[in-house]
Amino acid sequence: MDAAGPRPPRWQPALWAVAVAAAAAGAALRFIAPSPMWLDEALSVNIASLPISDAVQALRHDGHPLLYYLLLGFWLDVFGDSDFAARSLSGLFSLGAAAVIWAAARRRLGAEAARYAAVLALTSPFLVRYGSEARMYALAVLLAATGWLVTERAVERRSPTRLVAVALVVAAGLHTHYWMIWLAAAASATLAVRWLRSPASREVLTPVLAAYACGWIGFAPWLPVLVEQATHTGTPWAKWARPAEVAVETIEALGGGTRFEPVLLGVLLAGAALLGATLIRTSADGVELGWPGRHPGAPLVAVTVLTLGLGGTVAMLSGGAFEARYTAVVVPVLVALAGRGLSRLPRWLGPAALAAVAAFGVVVAIDEARRDRSQGQEVAGIIDRDAGTGDVVVACPDQLAPAVLRHLEGPATVLTHPPTDDPRFVDWYDYHDRIDRASPTATATVALDTAGSGGAVWLVTASGYRGFEGRCETIAAELGHTRPSETVLFARPVYEHMRLYRYPAGTP
């Protein structure tokens, strides 16, 4: 325990009041997302709305496991498919994750660290962002935290119920996001090392390891789909990951973005987590730092480092990508360690640091929440307002179509480049081969033939998409050879920016 210090300042309760107010604001922000849905969210809703067998087939061409889409589909059946309804499920997952992080941290790191961790979880821009987005990442955080908690409980006291919970949560995590593979492998390896080094603990750890094995077995039915996805989909929208990228994007993830303020917050939280991972004790004489193995957070550090190391290495060797959102699987531990680090600061510095970081987190979360994620709704509104019967919309790249179609109500025919059977989805199957085989000139010709002399052609396009260098410009040029071009909408500095051109009916 820390040595007793001077009486806390009278204004220390005010610091906790700031922290609690920030936590309440963070909880509310999970259900406030004015931005239209972007590509990944629109795809989530479209896939979740399919019958289960069709959803499995769609995921073979998309690249994710089934569980989140299954849950979202049930949710949409009850509450509808509005943006708020679809996103609110993630909001509930995110709030649940904060509660489970508190419970798990309380068991492993103590009540004080757990209180700090709960505030940091509620004000985390990462958890706020993915709690307001129709994607599986809030569920991944919840299951990662729950896996930590049920493992702690199973190690504390063996019982059939607790062991079944471990197996179910491990299987659920693996069916939610593929980076859960690295988390489950890291946790299994950490338990196995303890089993090898501590014969006295084998009676306790053997059934827990068996429960993990059952969780892995529960993932086996999906393995054929995973193999097909790994062979034919992967991450064609990004380049291969580098080790430094994993480290930097993990920090960015903690802060909730790539702008200066989120990066600064990410550095502060990463520093607090590092302190929580190395701090042994504090006293009136100062602090003592040491290797993580000397305090209860050591297994958490091992699992986190192994998870990021395994996932990053496999991504690098296989040519796969790494995105900041993949850190969802280790965010619960990083938040808990950051809570421990701040809670162990001497005297009043802990509450002061918590209040400052929590308030800063809410400010960053608000700034991120107010920004549009896509121009899809804007594009759809213009087309619905001005398009006539027989008009044709061309989306190049095809990745722009789902966000536009989410809001498009008019009668226009929608084509994509590369061509696809259903523009509500992106077919990632052998994606770059499909791009290479597709002819921009042929796409323009089909659009003009479909529109005929009585229909206009609308081109929705954007730059910066991997594999499309010069292709969308070629379509624009081909259309411009036949018809005059009107720039209807310019791209704005949003994540999923778009430009809209109109080629009126008839010939010049």
**Digitized pLDDT (tens) for each residue of the chain, 508 residues in all:** 444 555 666 778 899 999 999 999 999 999 999 999 999 999 999 999 999 999 999 999 998 999 999 999 999 999 999 999 999 999 999 999 999 999 999 999 999 999 999 999 999 999 999 999 999 999 999 999 999 999 999 999 989 999 999 999 999 999 999 999 999 999 999 999 999 999 989 999 999 999 999 999 999 999 999 999 988 886 765 666 777 888 898 999 999 988 999 999 999 999 999 999 887 666 555 555 555 556 788 899 999 999 999 998 888 887 777 888 999 999 999 999 999 999 988 878 899 999 999 999 999 999 999 999 999 999 999 999 999 889 999 999 999 999 999 999 987 899 999 999 999 999 999 999 999 999 999 999 999 999 998 999 999 999 999 999 999 999 999 999 999 999 999 999 999 999 999 999 875 4
Q: Which of 312, 488, 270 is nearest to 391 (CA)?
A: 488
Which residues are CB-contacts of 29 (< 8 A; sequence separation ≥ 6)?
128, 131, 132, 362, 365, 366, 369
Helix runs in 370-498, H state only: 376-386, 401-405, 431-437, 440-451, 471-482
Burial of residue 231, with CB atoms counted within 10 A of its CB: 0-12 exposed, 13-18 middle, 19 or more buried: exposed
Q: How many other β-carbons are positioned within 10 Å of the β-carbon of residue 232?
A: 16
Spatial separation of the C-alpha atoms in residues 173 and 478, rounded to whole Å: 48
φ and ψ of 328, to 5 deg: -50, -30
**357 in Cβ contact with 269 (< 8 Å):** yes
Q: How many other β-carbons are positioned within 10 Å of the β-carbon of residue 149?
A: 23
Q: What does pTM read for this prediction? A: 0.93
